[in-house]
């Protein structure tokens, strides 16, 4: 595995003297590690170790063939550097193709898949090792890659886009951990069956000087559509969850929530009793108002029942009520205007007294905000039902997982985005970091979800 933050790859050892002369060079950094290595070891230590050694030999041979240098092995991870950017990407593609061929036909527990990240950057050299931000970026790209995938930074893409017959899928500018600036990230489409990340835009290897700008625009629209789809799924999830919560509360405690639209049309209604209608005549007989009250029981799929008092009012207006003209039979019907309105009030089924209870709509809205905040800030580490489906994740602007406080602030701030006639949501199309208004308010970003395996 790539070393954790306690011993980051990109930082020099703390024991180096302050006056120590550090050599630097511009190089291509190659990082790779095994997907779900700890899980594989937990299932079969001996077999996993044997397969890891075989993969190490394969990777070392490809690196040597492309005139690269293995800097270090660390558990299931390898760090290497190349003098040529093109050679580094070619090496990664050949490694993944060979590993795929070896994994085909094997059962899940016997497959060993790697993720690879490549970056071009300035590094510090100390003995055999390399350090610096360039190494950290390659490590972060590796951790974001799909199993069997290759991610490259924008600096690598600029060097290889016109030199290799490969497709590149732009993932947008990603905020990676402990790196101040966002990194433009591309998926190397080395395999036609490779899944494109949510919102990614295909960039032709011969796309010309405007390829990046066009792909940025495509990514922005893809990101907006993905967010819209995720929001729809989250909204439906919250409505369903709110309804189920309402049913559970009603079944347990009685009429503590009033179920309203859009669920009411699905209820089965039964009229328990009906009062005699009352009639009011006004305007010298010109207006006749008929009021009918009844008690109605609603049955929600046999899971809960609620009782309402329904008041139905019909208003009849006779335009010729004061006219001296004689009635002309059926023609008089055309002179009548009829209107009817109904109003339902939740009541206690025993005492028939009115009940004032929060509505299902209010419960669903509250559930929506609470559910998303808990999912993004605690339960699903930045994701939600909709975001998981569309491959999205919410992070803090520093690349760390969003905190619970940020998640609550972000989702409550969606009210601001709504209040701006949806302009707050559309901001993802033109802001540099593809932030909506509520993202900026909570200092968050939405990125393509990582495919990290369980360690």
pLDDT digits (tens, 9 = 90+) for 407-419: 888 888 888 887 8
269 and 298 Cβ atoms separated by less than 8 Å: yes
Indicate if the pLDDT at residue 79 is higher than 90: yes
Q: Which of 188-192, 225-229, 377-381 has the largest mean confidence?
A: 377-381
Torsions phi, psi for 203 (to 5 deg): -115, 120
> Residue ranges per domain, the chain?
23-208, 217-257+357-455, 259-356
- In this prediction, residue 29 has a pLDDT band, given cuts at 50, 70 and 90, of very high
- The conformation of residue 436, written as its DSSP 8-state character, comes to -
**164's tokens:** 């290799």
Model pTM? 0.49
Interatomic CA distance for residues 137 and 360, integer angstroms: 47
* Residue appearing with tokens 């835009």: 201
Helix, strand, or coil (residue 366): helix
267: nearest Cα among 241, 246, 252: 246
Contacts of 316 by beta carbon, 8 Å cutoff, 6+ apart: 287, 288, 289, 290, 336, 337, 338
Return mean pLDDT, the chain.
78
Q: Alpha helix (H) ranges present in 314-448? A: 360-374, 385-389, 404-412, 414-419, 423-426, 437-442
Interatomic CA distance for residues 240 and 327, integer angstroms: 56
- From residue 5, give the alpha-carbon distance in Å to each of 63, 114, 158: 26, 21, 29
- From residue 59, give the alpha-carbon distance in Å to each of 54, 115, 296, 404: 9, 12, 74, 41
Interatomic CA distance for residues 56 and 62, integer angstroms: 10
393 and 176 Cβ atoms separated by less than 8 Å: no
Interatomic CA distance for residues 145 and 288, integer angstroms: 73
The domain made up of 23-208 is a member of CATH 1.10.3330.10: no
Percent of the chain residues past pLDDT 90, beyond the cut = 14
What would the mean pLDDT of 138-150 be, rounded to a whole number? 88
- In this prediction, residue 339 has a pLDDT band, given cuts at 50, 70 and 90, of low
- In this prediction, residue 441 has a pLDDT band, given cuts at 50, 70 and 90, of confident
How many CA atoms are closer than 13 Å to the CA of 433, on its beta-carbon side? 24
pLDDT attached to residue 338: 59
Interatomic CA distance for residues 395 and 403, integer angstroms: 8
Interatomic CA distance for residues 444 and 431, integer angstroms: 13
Q: Regarding predicted confidence, which is higher, 397 or 125?
A: 125
What would the mean pLDDT of 391-405 be, rounded to a whole number? 76
Neighbours of 338 (CB within 10 A): 8
Apex CA 230: angle with CA 419 and CA 240, to 5°?
90
Q: Which residues pair with 129 in a beta bridge?
A: 126
258: nearest Cα among 318, 307, 309: 307
pLDDT attached to residue 448: 66
Interatomic CA distance for residues 121 and 167, integer angstroms: 22
What would the mean pLDDT of 15-29 be, rounded to a whole number? 71
Helix, strand, or coil (residue 157): helix
pLDDT attached to residue 14: 43
- In this prediction, residue 250 has a pLDDT band, given cuts at 50, 70 and 90, of confident
Apex CA 210: angle with CA 208 and CA 215, to 5°?
110
**157's tokens:** 């893409």
116: nearest Cα among 70, 87, 80, 162: 80
Interatomic CA distance for residues 247 and 339, integer angstroms: 35
Q: Which of 91-100, 367-376, 420-429 has the largest mean confidence?
A: 91-100
Indicate if the pLDDT at residue 332 is higher than 60: no
Interatomic CA distance for residues 431 and 100, integer angstroms: 38
Indicate if the pLDDT at residue 155 is higher than 80: yes
30 and 88 Cβ atoms separated by less than 8 Å: yes
Q: Which residues pair with 445 in a beta bridge?
A: 395
What would the mean pLDDT of 336-352 be, rounded to a whole number? 78
Q: Do the bridges between strand 278-282 and strand 68-74 make them parallel or antiparallel, or are there none, so unpaired?
A: unpaired
């Amino acid at each position: 595995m790539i070393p954790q933050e306690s011993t980051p790859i990109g930082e020099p050892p703390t024991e180096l003297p302050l006056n120590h002369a550090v050599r630097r060079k511009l190089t291509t950094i190659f990082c790779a590690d095994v997907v779900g290595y700890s899980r594989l070891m937990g299932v079969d230590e001996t077999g996993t170790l044997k397969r890891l050694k075989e993969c190490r030999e394969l990777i070392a041979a490809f690196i040597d063939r492309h005139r690269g240098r293995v800097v270090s092995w660390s558990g299931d991870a390898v760090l290497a550097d190349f003098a040529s950017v093109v050679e580094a990407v070619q090496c990664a593609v050949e490694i993944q193709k060979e590993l795929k061929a070896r994994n085909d036909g094997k059962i899940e527990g016997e497959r060993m898949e790697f993720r690879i990240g490549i970056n071009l950057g300035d590094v510090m050299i100390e003995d055999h090792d390399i350090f610096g931000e360039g190494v950290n970026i390659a490590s972060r790209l590796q951790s974001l890659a799909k199993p069997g995938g290759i991610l490259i930074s924008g600096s690598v893409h600029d060097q290889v886009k016109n030199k290799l017959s490969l497709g590149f899928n732009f993932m947008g500018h990603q905020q990676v951990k402990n790196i101040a600036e966002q990194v433009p990230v591309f998926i190397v489409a080395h395999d036609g069956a490779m899944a494109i990340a949510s919102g990614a835009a295909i960039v032709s290897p011969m796309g010309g000087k405007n390829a990046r700008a066009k792909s940025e625009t495509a990514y922005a629209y893809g990101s907006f559509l993905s967010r819209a789809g995720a929001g729809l799924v989250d909204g439906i999830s919250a409505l369903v969850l709110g309804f189920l919560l309402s049913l559970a509360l009603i079944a347990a405690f009685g009429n503590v929530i009033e179920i309203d639209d859009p669920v009411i049309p699905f209820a089965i209604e039964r009229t328990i009793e009906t009062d005699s209608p009352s009639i009011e005549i006004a305007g010298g007989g010109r207006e006749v108002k008929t009021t009918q009250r009844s008690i109605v029981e609603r049955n929600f799929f046999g899971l809960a029942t609620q009782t309402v008092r329904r008041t139905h009012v019909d208003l009849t207006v006779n335009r010729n009520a004061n006219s001296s003209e004689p009635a002309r039979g059926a023609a008089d019907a055309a002179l009548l205007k009829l209107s009817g309105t109904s109003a339902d009030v939740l009541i206690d089924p025993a005492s028939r007294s009115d009940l004032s209870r929060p509505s299902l709509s209010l419960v669903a809205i509250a559930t929506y905000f609470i559910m998303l905040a808990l999912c993004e800030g605690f339960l699903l580490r930045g994701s939600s039902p909709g975001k998981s489906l569309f491959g999205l994740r919410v992070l803090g602007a520093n690349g760390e997982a969003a905190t619970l406080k940020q998640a609550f602030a972000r989702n409550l701030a969606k009210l601001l985005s709504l209040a701006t006639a949806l302009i707050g949501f559309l901001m993802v199309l033109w802001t540099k970091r593809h932030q909506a208004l509520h993202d900026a308010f909570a200092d968050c970003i939405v990125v393509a979800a990582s495919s990290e395996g369980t360690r």
